[in-house]
Chain A
Amino acid sequence: MTEPRVIRFRLNGEWVQLGVAPNELLINVLRERLHLTGTKYWCGIGECGGCTVLLDGEPVLSCLTLAVDVDGREITTIEGLATGEDDLTPLQRAFIEEGAIQCGFCTPGFILTAQALLRENPNPTEEEIREYVRGNLCRCTGYVNIVRAIKRAASEAAKSRRPGPAAGAASG
């Protein structure tokens, strides 16, 4: 059974089916077989978060996930969030507006992780943001703008949930 197994999983909303060897990593299947290169390979040992994808909505590391292990599950990669510049998510827009992207290598991982954070905790404090993204490394920005972008996306979402002058939530 070291020969390929056929797996089927939902990738960015669509079912895909392919044969994978047991020792194939999810990251390689995404990047090399399905040509979704938004997911980044960086450290390969769990320490940088560059390869983060959402598995059933929760951030996990595709560099330490066997492809066979996602059979029947749902995977979201950065390509699944928007189809183009016109329908960027609030987080994606906030990253651009706050200058949270320099080389951009870490950005897909940060955005997916932050998306999971905001779904769990729509109004996080700075400390909660830093805590949640501590497994995502950025060698360019120094994190300040990234944290600010996540805060901005959170407060914009709060504004759109509560139209009108919402006390507290609309600052920043």
Chain B
Amino acid sequence: MNRFNTHIIPVEFEYHEPRTIREALELLARWGEDAKILAGGTDLLVQMKMRRVEPKCVINIKRIPELDYIREGPAGVRIGAATRLRRLERSGAIKRLFPALHRAIGWMASVQVRNMATIGGNLCNASPAADTAPPLMVYGARVKLASVSGERTLPLEDFFTGPGQTAMRPGEMLTEIWIPRQPEGTGSAFIKVARTAMDLAKVNVAVALTLKGWSAFNVRIALGSVAPTPMRAREAEAALEGRPPTEGLLRRVGDIASEEIRPITDVRSTAEYRREVTKVIVADALRKALGMVRVGGGVG
């Protein structure tokens, strides 16, 4: 059987275009595992062309207005799962409040892909390299999952369970991403190392920290492409928590993160390279985040 790219989609399916979340959930309940949600299609259609997935039913969620929004509130920002990356890139609120996420999105793929692709699709595809995952994790984002029997929310960290695997149960879909406002004095940054501007990451990292006096608090470091899922480097975070971010300490934090990750060798990179580069980019990202605190004026 053909497992290669073709100029057609060699799979036949029923196609639905629900206008409300309710309708989409009813379709999901009816079709179960035979259905696939289509958002931007930039992952799904590639996989269908190669027959890696062969859904019997495709549910296009792009015509559901209640899944496409960016809402800034006092506690944080809510983003509809089918909001396109390009819209997030253009959002003043995202740029101002969550610069690491803004940077990660602007760095992804191409303008064409960002015009099509959605943030929910990036998360639900659950690639270990998904670029929006590390920044959303360091900001403490939560995701809302819905099914015909109700809704639940969970921290994004608990959403990823393996490569291509998420905590979504059959019949559930992602409807919203919520990102809390960060405390005064917070700086954050994102760095990606890739073969070319268009490629998925060899390693990506996001960090966030809050400066109080001379010390760093709420230190969060998340990495992608270095383990089966995007991951927090908790030992590295703990090494910096509550301490002054001296140059020597930032380098040590990079070294600790490099010990914590569980990289593999694949087409994009070797495990050894991933470990080496992690040391450098974790420390770099922390330096950048500290610079962002000053730019933001949160701390003198």
A-side interface residues toward B, CB under 8 Å?
A: 1-2, 5, 21-25, 27-28, 41, 43-47, 49, 52, 55, 58-61, 63-66, 68-69, 113, 116, 132, 134-136
- Please give, as numbers and ranges, the residues of chain B lying within 8 Å of A45 by CB-CB distance: 5, 46, 49
Pair count A-B, CB < 8 A? 94
With contacts A22-B58, A64-B46 taken as known, whether A113 is within 8 angstroms of B112 at the C-beta atoms is yes
- Please give, as numbers and ranges, the residues of chain A lying within 8 Å of B53 by CB-CB distance: none
Q: Are B115 and A135 touching (Cβ within 8 A)?
A: no
Which partner residue on chain A sits nearest B14 by CB separation?
A1
Interface centre among A5, A22, A41, A132 (most CB of B within 10 A): A22
- Please give, as numbers and ranges, the residues of chain A lying within 8 Å of B58 by CB-CB distance: 22
B-side interface residues toward A, CB under 8 Å?
A: 5-17, 38, 41-42, 45-46, 49, 58, 60, 62, 86, 109-113, 115-116, 197-198
Q: Are A44 and B111 touching (Cβ within 8 A)?
A: no
- Please give, as numbers and ranges, the residues of chain A lying within 8 Å of B86 by CB-CB distance: 58
- Please give, as numbers and ranges, the residues of chain A lying within 8 Å of B41 by CB-CB distance: 64-66, 69
B24 vs chain A, min Cβ distance (A): 15
Q: Are B13 and A2 touching (Cβ within 8 A)?
A: yes
Q: Are B198 and A44 touching (Cβ within 8 A)?
A: no
Q: Are B111 and A132 touching (Cβ within 8 A)?
A: yes
A48 vs chain B, min Cβ distance (A): 9
Q: Which of A46, A58, A68, A69 contacts B109 (CB 8 A)?
A: A46
Q: Are B46 and A46 touching (Cβ within 8 A)?
A: yes
Q: Are A134 and B8 touching (Cβ within 8 A)?
A: no
B110 vs chain A, min Cβ distance (A): 2
Q: Are B13 and A135 touching (Cβ within 8 A)?
A: no
- Please give, as numbers and ranges, the residues of chain B lying within 8 Å of A47 by CB-CB distance: 198
Q: Are B109 and A135 touching (Cβ within 8 A)?
A: yes
- Can you report 29 residue pairs joining A to B where beta carbons are below 8 Å apart? A1-B16, A2-B13, A2-B15, A5-B15, A22-B14, A22-B15, A23-B10, A23-B11, A25-B9, A28-B7, A28-B8, A44-B7, A46-B42, A46-B113, A49-B112, A58-B86, A60-B115, A60-B116, A64-B42, A64-B45, A65-B116, A66-B38, A68-B15, A69-B41, A113-B111, A113-B112, A116-B111, A135-B198, A136-B110
Q: Which of A44, A64, A116 contacts B6 (CB 8 A)?
A: A44
- Please give, as numbers and ranges, the residues of chain B lying within 8 Å of A59 by CB-CB distance: 111-112, 115
A41 vs chain B, min Cβ distance (A): 6
